[in-house]
Amino acid sequence: MKFFVDTAEIDEIRELENTGLVDGVTTNPSLINKSGRNFFEVVREISSLVDGPVSAEVASTDFDTMLKEGQKLAEIATNIAVKVPLTRAGLRTCKLLSDNGTMVNVTLCFSANQAILAAKAGARFISPFVGRLDDIANDGMDLISDICDIYANYPNFSTEVLVASVRSPMHVVEAAKIGADVATVPPSVLHQMFSHPLTDKGLADFTSDWEKTGQSIL
């Protein structure tokens, strides 16, 4: 499974990139707004920090403007994945951009029906929002399972399942068990995945016992 980090904060991305565990970055208008910085400056800087895909989202909802925005975003860097909403205009934009060699991440997916359409439109990534489905008492992981099962039936579908709206490490574990290609996680969730109280206790015990030996490895 690939890990994308879901943030527009440069310091967070740089810190996690140094672990070697980050395969890409996803941003959205809300994250850009939270950063308080110029959109193009942020996306360009992120694209220079990571080798993998960097999702940058269009801001319009009509096809003509969306396509122009997508083309402009694709010019920022070769690893840009243009992010479009799962609407008729978004899928039409996806088809044209994909046909021209641009990576497209179709976002705001909440049904298997929508995921099929995104794959037909040539999306590189489909982003089902598991946390938002959980919020309305639907099991977001059921949707991930359905999409993975459907895509597996059609080898010509090259769309990767990118699990979004991840709220906890267990979302990542369940997505991995199902076989999702990517999980995009907030930095806080990725940090949680490093931690376990028994790891902390075991390390403290080993360190204490080593100190008692009076020895040094260096």
The H-or-E segment that residue 16 falls in is: helix 10-17
Q: CA 179, 180, 184, 189 torsion: positive or negative?
A: negative
Tokens in use for 168? 């906890």
Report d(CA 116, CA 111) in Å as an integer: 9
**How many other C-beta atoms can be found within 10 angstroms of the C-beta atom of residue 77?**
14
| Catalytic residue of the set 83, 95, 120, 212 | 83
State CA 140 to chain mean position distance.
Answer: 16
Determine whether 83 is an active site residue. Answer: yes
Show the CA angle centred on residue 159, arms to residues 55 and 143, nearest 5°: 95
Q: Which residues are catalytic?
A: 83
